[in-house]
Amino acid sequence: MKELLIKLLTILGIAQAGNPIQEGQEAYLFNLRNQEGKIVNLADYKGWWVVLYFYPKADTPGCTTQAKAYTHLITEFERLKTKVFGISTDNIDSIKRFKERHGLAVDFLSDPKGSVAKAYGVRVIAGFCSRDTVLLNPELKVEKVYRGVDPSADPQRVLDYIKNKVK
């Protein structure tokens, strides 16, 4: 039923689906502004694991839960030389308020047109990203793609995957 609804929204022009990115594929390199308005260039993170978690809207319950869960684990991610980015179509002011209001340690990136989301195969429905996570390995290749993630379980699952790969 969910897939049928998404197909209908796509036909009506309300939803836009990107091309599904494949594991092993080169990462789509991008430049986006973070919560401080500074440009973040993905290519600068070669040699790092990179978590790109796409979320619908800052300061909503699921998005807050996910951001807090990543923040709770951020020291472990950093110990494994992993950079975590939350990406949405929210503007810079919204993501800055979100980060400050909840004391979040994650860096947030603004993708106002959803172009980076679509490049990673993330659905953009009525201007909101679906909740998907893409893990990039240190060679900046797509290591793992998780679609429709549970906001509370996603951070631990991604961390566990990286821990098993780094052993």
Please give the positions annotated as active site: 63
Q: Hey, which residues does 109 pair with through a beta bridge? A: 34, 87
Residue 1, C-beta contacts closer than 8 angstroms, at least 6 positions apart: none
Q: Treating both helix axes as pointing N-terminal to C-terminal, what angle do 92-102 and 61-72 enclose, rounded to 10 degrees?
A: 60
d(Cα 132, Cα 12) in Å, to the nearest integer?
23
d(Cα 54, Cα 132) in Å, to the nearest integer?
5
d(Cα 29, Cα 144) in Å, to the nearest integer?
16
d(Cα 123, Cα 130) in Å, to the nearest integer?
5
